[in-house]
Amino acid sequence: MSKTGSPCNGAPATLNAGSDLKSIGQPLWLLAELTYKCPLQCPYCSNPLDFAAAGAELTTEQWIEVFRQGRELGAVQLGFSGGEPLVRQDLEELIRAARDLGYYTNLITSGVGLSEQKVANFREAGLDHIQVSFQASDDSVNAMVSGSEKAFQQKLKMAREVKAQGYPMVLNFVTHRHNIDQIDRIIELCIELEADFVELATCQYYGWGFENRDWLMPSIEQLTFAEARTNHWREELESRGSKMKLIFVTPDYYEERPKACMNGWGSVFLTVTPDGTALPCHSARMLPIEFAKVTDLGLKEIWYEHPSFNQFRGFDWMQEPCRSCDEKEQDFGGCRCQAYMLTGDAAAADPVCSKSSEHSQIVAARRSDSDRIETESDSFIYRNERNSKVFFRQG
Amino acid sequence: MSSDMLNKTPVLNSIYRLQWEPAQQGYVLLYPEGMVQLNGPASEILRRVDGERSVTQIVDDLQLSFPDAEGLIEDVEAFLVEAHEQNWISL
């Protein structure tokens, strides 16, 4: 399994794009961030810190036009994401339009705002799959992380409903220091809920996650334990004849080589933000790049010709140590956003790479049990409108 | 091929959807947040997996479409065993 995507926001965890793509590939994956509104306040949210400053949301008609143009370009997987996509009152209409266009439609939701009736209506409209994200395997940690007391019971109820109505189900557990030790209970819960795929994805440090990094980072001992338990459960599932697949995503902070982020810039992945900004990944909005809006330009022109999508395609933009590196075709120099956040230069090597001169920043952020910080929930900077306006003003 | 296999009726598991993709000029198998690009032979077999036709009928139908093809039974069995291992189909 690749480690391409963010575990929190519907990036392709398992997309096998094949190897025979033309020089500029097709945007096989279209992520529609329908809204930045969300009833939860997860401190690792991948939405931009200044989401409160974003412009008006695209209308129903504008979204359907984006879907139509995306389909023409070859997009086949469509993710409805956010924020919380259920906040959009036209979601059912958008699902129907997308399915009619031939997309495999994925709803990426917290489950908060979902109901038995909506699950049925979406099914009728042609929704193919619902991914429910969990913050933990019990009430108290889930509430601490999401900032909502009632969310956990609602999620359980909706996960059962999703299965009962015949959808395939992916459960996504974003793991971090405060819940990763519950790995056995998390997996047992997934078995009980009859998930088809389980993503055990340590949160990645973008947007709000970066602000809260020191409070989220699991220790190396925690990670080692969680991975060993996951492997144990894989064997156990196989011996039981279960088809449930466990996908364990380690944080790149514990790696010596960077992830092949997004399978390369402008390679297979296209995000459209609530206000119509087209991005090569859902974090890219933080970069000092002028991105185009789908309300100003067609998707085809943006994908193939706009400078923002061509900026880090190929290898000519690379500096050393990437430029002469014999692994550059495997990892494309890693993540542009991480390079920018940690070095101030979006064209630098991703500091996860041990060849980067800034790799010491990654090493310094790692934790072991001996230096673990005990955290109260009020240490988190929660992702909400009020805090976002603070970042907006700072920016 | 065992007669046991020939009498089975494969069906695509509900997670997956088989679809022609004009932009890729090929068939793909879609599943939650993922995609498998199928080669020609795999596409021809999977297109005939409809939960009604038995393996024998699938082989016969393929032989009609590709009269010069040899060793179809073995190829179909090998593919279906693989597809079953991948959990694409139930047998």
pLDDT in tens, A77-130: 999 999 999 999 999 999 999 999 999 999 999 898 999 999 999 999 999 999
**What ipTM was predicted for this assembly?**
0.88
Q: Which of B15, B17, B33 sits opposite A15 (nearest CB)?
A: B33
Q: What is the pLDDT of residue B33?
A: 82
Q: What is the pLDDT of residue A149?
A: 63
Q: What is the pLDDT of residue A9?
A: 39
Q: Smallest CA–CA separation between B16 and chain A, in Å?
A: 9
pLDDT band at A19 (very low <50, low <70, confident <90, very high): very low
A350 burial via Cβ count (<10 Å: 0-12, 13-18, 19+): buried
| Cα A272 from Cα A54, distance rounded (Å) | 13
Q: What is the pLDDT of residue A391?
A: 64
Q: What is the pLDDT of residue A292?
A: 98
Q: Within an 8 Å CB–CB cutoff, is residue A3 touching chain B?
A: no
Q: What is the pLDDT of residue A50?
A: 85
Given the structure tokens 């793909």, which residue do they identify?
B28
What's at A101, amino acid-wise? L
- What is the DSSP-derived secondary structure letter of residue B49? -
Q: What residues of chain A, 25 to 54, have a C-beta less than 8 Å from chain B?
A: 26, 28
Q: Smallest CA–CA separation between B60 and chain A, in Å?
A: 31
Mean pLDDT estimate for chain B: 92
Chain A residues touching B35 at Cβ < 8 A? 15-17, 28, 76-77, 104
Query: From the candidates A6, A30, A68, A76, which should be mutated to test the interface with B, based on the most B CB atoms within 10 A?
Result: A76
Chain A residues touching B32 at Cβ < 8 A? 104, 106, 128-129, 131, 168, 170, 196-197
User: Quick one: average pLDDT of A322-345?
Assistant: 96
User: Quick one: average pLDDT of A215-229?
Assistant: 94
Contacts of A47 (CB under 8 A, 6+ apart): A9, A33, A36, A38, A82, A83, A207, A208, A383
Q: Note the pTM of the prediction, 2 decimals.
A: 0.88
Q: Within an 8 Å CB–CB cutoff, is residue A13 touching chain B?
A: yes
